[in-house]
Structure 1
Amino acid sequence: MAKRSPKELIELYWTEVWNNRNAEMIRELCADPIIRHDAGSVTALSIEDQIARVRQQSERAEPFFTHEVLCADDTHVTSVWNMHTRKGERVDLCGIEVFKAVDGKFTDCWNSTYVPGRWGVEGDSSVPQDLPEPALIGSVDQITPTWVQAMFQHAGVPAPRVSLLATRPIGHGNMSQTIHTQITYNANAADAVPSVVCKITSAIPQAVDIAGTANVYARECAVYEFLGDTPPLATPRAYWRKVSDDGRAINLVMEDLSARTRPGDQISGCSVDEARAVAAELSRLHAAAWGDPRLEGADWLQDRAGGAVDSAQGYAAAAVEFRSRYAGRTDAAVLDAIDAMVPRMEQAIRDAARGETLVHGEPRVDNVLFEDTAGGPRAWLIDWQFATKASPMVDLAYFLAGSLSPEDRRACEAGLIEASVAAIAPVAPHWTLDKARADYAAALPIALQFTVGAIMAMPSSDHNDRLLLTLAERNVAALKDWALV
C-alpha cells in the first residue's frame, strides 16, 4: 500500500478517527508512540494510549472537527481547526495543530492552547461584545485574557482584543495580593490601557478572616465609588470593583501608575518633602469631603467607636504577642509603652472616632506612590481599606507617627498641622489650630494600635519583623513627644 501523504493523514485523522469515532484507525495513521509537544512539556503516547484517549473523549462529548485552514508539504501538515461537541451541552473550541509524518505515519504533534469559541470569520466583530460579567477570581492564574477582556467590557473601557498577559506580584500586601498585569493586544494599542494593577484576596487565611470581619474589601471598593471618576486627590482610577457577598473576597482592578511613580518604603520612611506632598493630598481629600451628606449613616465606613471594645481587646491580645515575639529585639521601653496603652486604648479609639470628614484611615508611606515632578514630589494614595469618618488629624497623626524618623517628624509636624488647618479653613473656619492640635494628640494612639494589632495577621519574617519594630519605635517616640506615655 502506498504511503499516505501528511495531508491525507490529517483528513482521515479528523474525519474518520474523530468525527466518525473510528478510534481503531489510529493504528494506520500514527506511529507507536506519537510524541505530543505542548508548551513546556512533551508526552509520548502509545497506540493504545491514543486509542483510549479518543474513545474517552468521543464517549463523553462526541467532538466534531472542521478545517478552517489546511496547509501541507511532504513532511508536515498544519490544521487550523474548529470543533464543537455533539453530546451534552454544546462546547465550541478552536486551535492550531502541526503534525510531522515519517514513512506514512504521524510521529509528532505540536499543540497550541485550545481557545473557547470558533475562529473568527469576515463579519465578526473585532472584540466580543457579549462576554458575561467577569467572575470573582481568587488566584493569579485566573487573571486570563478572557477575564481582562470581560472586565474592560463591563467597566466601559474601550480595548482591542486582549491576546497575552504577563503577571507579577508587587508590594508586601497582607490584606490582599497585588498583581501587576501587562497587557498585549492583537491590534494597534496606542490608546489602550497598557497595564493594570489587580488586587485580589489575600493568600493568608488570618488576613482573610480579618478582612471579612472588618469589611475592609467592601470598604475599599465603596471609597472608590464615593470618590468618583474625578477624585479630589491623587489616587489611581479604579476600573473594576467586586466583592463577595460575605466580604471575604475582592477583585479590584486599578490604573497602573508604576511607570511614573515609585512605591513608598515603610521601613526606610520618607523625607520631609515627601511628607509635605502626602499631607497636601490628604488635605485635599479632607476639604472636599468635609460635611458631605453621603457620609451620614454610610454603612461602608469603618465604625471605630462601635468597635472600640473589640478593638481594645484585640490590642491587648496583640500586645502580649508583640512582647512574646520581640522581647530582647527592641528597647524594653517600647514594649513597656505598648503595655501601658492597654487599659487606655478603648477610650483612645473612641476619642479619635469623632470628626466631620472622610479620612483614609491608614495613610502610612507604603500606602503611597511618589511621583517625582519638576515641582517636587507628588503623592498618590492607595489602599483605602480602613476609611472612616473622623478628624483630618487621624490621617496626619497616623502618617507622621509611622512614616518618618522621629527627627524628621519633629522638624515638620507643627507646620503640617498648621497647613492642614489653612487648607480646610474655606469649608470649616471653626476648625481652629487649637482644635487640630487636640485632635492630633488624640489620634496618635491609633497609629500604635494598628501597628501592634497587625502582628496577628503578619507571620514572622525578616521583612515583617523589621517593619513592625520600626513602626512601633516611631509610634512610641511620637507618643512620648506628646506626653501621652
Structure 2
Amino acid sequence: MAHRSPRELIELYWDEVWNNRRAELIREICADPIVRHDPGSVTALSVEDQIARVRQQSEKLEPCFTHEVLLADDTYVTSVWNMHTRKGERIELCGIEVFKAVDGKFTDCWNSSYTPGFWGREGDASVPADLPPPPLIAGADQITPQWIQAVLQQAGLEAPRVSLLNTKPIGHGNLSATLRTEITYNANAADAVRSVVAKLTSGIGQAVEIAAAHDVYRRECEVYGFLGETPPLATPRCYWRNVGPDGRTINLVLEDLSERTRPGNQIAGCSVAEAEAVARELAALHAAFWDDARLDVAEWLYNRAADAETAAVTNMLAAKAFRERFTGRADPAMLDAIDAVVADLPRHFAAIPRGRTLVHGEPRVDNVLFEDGAEGPRAWLIDWQFADCGSPMFDLAYFLSGSLTVEDRRSIDGTLVERHHAAIAAKDPSYTLDHARAEFAGSLPLALYFSVGAILAMPPSEHGDLLLLTLAERNVAALRDWGVV
C-alpha cells in the first residue's frame, strides 16, 4: 500500500490543516501520539490534543504559514517557515521544524524556538535602523536577543545582530536584582559590546515596596541622565533606563566592568589605598556639582530632611527588629547605642548639613568596583539609589564609617576629611575646615540609620546578618570616636 511522502504530508499540514483550518485532517497525517521535541523538553500529543491545539489557535489568530525552504527525503522533511496572523493584531513569526514520517504519518517533530518577524532575504538589513525602544520587562527571562538589540541601538551603539545571550545573577542587591548578560552576535563583533549588566526589579516583595515608597528605582535611572555622557567621576556608562509608572519596576542596563574590576567586599572592608581612591572620586563628584542650580529643581532626588518623620518611625521599628534578631549575637553596648541614636533621630535629621552638591547617598564599599593599575587602585561608584543634594561630608562619613575596619578608618579619616575639604574649598573658599569637620560628625548618625533600616528589607540569612552586624559595629565605633555618642 502506497503511503504519502514526507513532502506530501507537510504540504497538507501547513496548507490544509493550518491555512485552511481543516483540523480533522490531522487524523490522516499524524500518528497517535506524535512526539514533539522542543528545546529542553519532549511532549507526546494525542490526535485529540493536536486537533484541539490547532482549533484553539485557528479560532484566536487564524495563522497562515508559507515555506521559505522545504527539503525532504523518504523519512524526514524540513520546513523553514514564515507565519502571519489573519485575525486581530498582525503577528509575524518564523521558525524551523523537522518532521519524521513512518508509514505515511508524522511520528515526531523537532521545533526551533519561534522568533518574531520573517526570515531575512537578500537586501534586508542585518539590524533594522529603526527598532522601537525596549519594552519595560519584569524579569531575567524577558532579557531576549531582541530586547538587547533594541537597548544597544537606543544607546547609539553599532552592533551586528544579537543571536544568543547568557544571563546570570551577580551580587547581593538589597532592593533590585542585578544580572550580567553575555552577548553573542551572528557576525564579526570585535568592536561590539560583549556583555552588559542589568538591574531589574527585586524578587523580594518587601524590597519592592520599600523601593517604591522611596522612589528608589526612578532616582537611580534619573541620576545617570543627570551625570551626562561624560561624568566627572568613574561610574559605568548607562545604555538604557526605564521605570514603571508606579515605581515598582526598573530596567537599567549598564556598562559591564566585571572583566577589568573587582567588587568591593563590605564585610571584609577595603584597604586604606582603596579608601583613598573612593575619596578621590567622591571629591571629584562633589566639586563638579557644587552649588549646581539644577539640583534645586531635580525633584527626583532623595530628600533626607523631608523624610525625617517617616524615617524616625521606620527606624524605631528597625531598631526593635535589629535587637530581636541580634540579641545574644551582638555586643549589648552596641545595641544600646543604636537605640540611643534612633531615639534621637529627629534631632539628627534636623541637623543634617544644608545640601550644596550632588551626593551618592549610599557609598558603601560594596557599591564600589575597584580597578587595579600601576599607580594604585581606581574606584568606580555604582548603585545611585539614594542620590541627594547634600553635604560633601555626608558621602565621606557614610563611606568611611562602614567600609573599613575600625583601625584602618581611625588611621585615615582625619586626613581624608582635610583632603576633601581642600577639593571643595578650591571651588568655594568660604567652606572652612571646621565646617567640614562638623558636617562629617553630623552625618555619621545617618550612616547608622541606613545600616539599621536595611534590616526591614533583608530577611535573615548568614551573609545578610553578618553584613548588618559588621556595618553597625563600625558605625557605632565612628560615632563614639567623633563624640556623637
Q: If the length of structure 1 is used for normalisation, what is the TM-score?
A: 0.97
Q: Any idea what SS the aligned residue of 2:246 has?
A: coil
Q: Deviations over 1:316-356 (max 9, x none)?
A: 22111111111111110100100111232112123224132
Corresponding position of 2:144: 144
Return the alpha-carbon distance in structure 2 between the equivalents of residues 434 and 239 of structure 1: 41
Corresponding position of 1:349: 349
The amino acid of 2:7's aligned partner reads: K
Q: Is the 8 A contact 2:168 2:180 kept in 1?
A: yes
Q: Is the 8 A contact 1:221 1:242 kept in 2?
A: yes
Q: Deviations over 1:424-457 (max 9, x none)?
A: 2321222222221111111111111111111111
Q: Deviations over 1:147-184 (max 9, x none)?
A: 22222223332222111111111111111111111111
Q: Where do residues 80-479 of structure 1 align in structure 2 (5 Å cutoff)?
A: 80-479=80-479
Call closer, same or farther: CA 1:223–1:61 in 2, change over 3 Å.
Answer: closer
Return the alpha-carbon distance in structure 1 between the equivalents of residues 318 and 123 of structure 2: 63
Q: Deviations over 1:75-125 (max 9, x none)?
A: 211110011222333222111001112222221110001112111112222
Q: Is the 8 A contact 1:5 1:74 kept in 2?
A: yes
Q: Alpha-carbon deviation of 1:236?
A: 0.3
Call closer, same or farther: CA 1:309–1:27 in 2, change over 3 Å.
Answer: closer
Q: Is the 8 A contact 2:65 2:83 kept in 1?
A: yes
The amino acid of 2:43's aligned partner reads: T
Q: Is the 8 A contact 1:353 1:389 kept in 2?
A: no
Q: Deviations over 1:182-205 (max 9, x none)?
A: 111112211111111111112222
Corresponding position of 2:53: 53
Q: Is the 8 A contact 2:369 2:380 kept in 1?
A: yes
Q: Deviations over 1:15-65 (max 9, x none)?
A: 222222222322332222211101111111222322232233223322221
Q: Is the 8 A contact 2:353 2:439 kept in 1?
A: no
Q: Is the 8 A contact 2:133 2:154 kept in 1?
A: yes
Return the alpha-carbon distance in structure 1 between the equivalents of residues 444 and 159 of structure 2: 46
The amino acid of 1:131's aligned partner reads: L
Return the alpha-carbon distance in structure 2 between the equivalents of residues 23 and 314 of structure 1: 62
Return the alpha-carbon distance in structure 2 between the equivalents of residues 476 and 197 of structure 1: 34
Q: Deviations over 1:249-272 (max 9, x none)?
A: 211111110010111111111111
Q: Is the 8 A contact 1:304 1:350 kept in 2?
A: no
Percent identity between the two aligned chains: 70
Q: Alpha-carbon deviation of 1:364?
A: 0.4
Q: Alpha-carbon deviation of 1:304?
A: 1.3
Q: Any idea what SS the aligned residue of 2:297 has?
A: coil
Q: Is the 8 A contact 1:164 1:185 kept in 2?
A: yes
Structure 1, unmatched stretches of 5+, are none
The amino acid of 2:61's aligned partner reads: A
Return the alpha-carbon distance in structure 2 between the equivalents of residues 353 and 199 of structure 1: 31
Q: Alpha-carbon deviation of 1:392?
A: 1.1
Return the alpha-carbon distance in structure 1 between the equivalents of residues 112 and 300 of structure 2: 46
Q: Is the 8 A contact 2:290 2:357 kept in 1?
A: yes
Q: Is the 8 A contact 1:304 1:353 kept in 2?
A: no
Return the alpha-carbon distance in structure 2 between the equivalents of residues 404 and 33 of structure 1: 65
Q: Is the 8 A contact 2:323 2:335 kept in 1?
A: yes
The amino acid of 1:453's aligned partner reads: G
Corresponding position of 1:9: 9
Q: Is the 8 A contact 1:305 1:353 kept in 2?
A: no
Q: Alpha-carbon deviation of 1:246?
A: 2.4
Q: Any idea what SS the aligned residue of 2:377 has?
A: strand
Return the alpha-carbon distance in structure 2 between the equivalents of residues 9 and 434 of structure 1: 88
More moved, 132-141 vs 472-481: 132-141
Q: Alpha-carbon deviation of 1:5?
A: 2.2
Return the alpha-carbon distance in structure 2 between the equivalents of residues 389 and 88 of structure 1: 50
Return the alpha-carbon distance in structure 1 between the equivalents of residues 299 and 210 of structure 2: 18
Return the alpha-carbon distance in structure 2 between the equivalents of residues 31 and 291 of structure 1: 76
After superposition, the CA RMSD in angstroms is 1.4
Return the alpha-carbon distance in structure 1 between the equivalents of residues 236 and 119 of structure 2: 37
Q: Alpha-carbon deviation of 1:247?
A: 2.0
Q: Is the 8 A contact 2:357 2:390 kept in 1?
A: yes
Return the alpha-carbon distance in structure 2 between the equivalents of residues 73 and 353 of structure 1: 80
Call closer, same or farther: CA 1:448–1:379 in 2, change over 3 Å.
Answer: same
Q: Any idea what SS the aligned residue of 1:361 has?
A: coil
Equivalent pairs, count: 485
Return the alpha-carbon distance in structure 1 between the equivalents of residues 297 and 102 of structure 2: 75
Q: Is the 8 A contact 2:342 2:449 kept in 1?
A: no
Q: If the length of structure 2 is used for normalisation, what is the TM-score?
A: 0.97
Return the alpha-carbon distance in structure 2 between the equivalents of residues 2 and 68 of structure 1: 28
Return the alpha-carbon distance in structure 2 between the equivalents of residues 200 and 312 of structure 1: 29
More moved, 147-156 vs 388-397: 147-156
Return the alpha-carbon distance in structure 1 between the equivalents of residues 44 and 25 of structure 2: 19
Structure 2, unmatched stretches of 5+, are none
The amino acid of 1:44's aligned partner reads: A
Q: Is the 8 A contact 2:353 2:442 kept in 1?
A: no
Q: Alpha-carbon deviation of 1:70?
A: 0.9
Q: Any idea what SS the aligned residue of 1:84 has?
A: strand
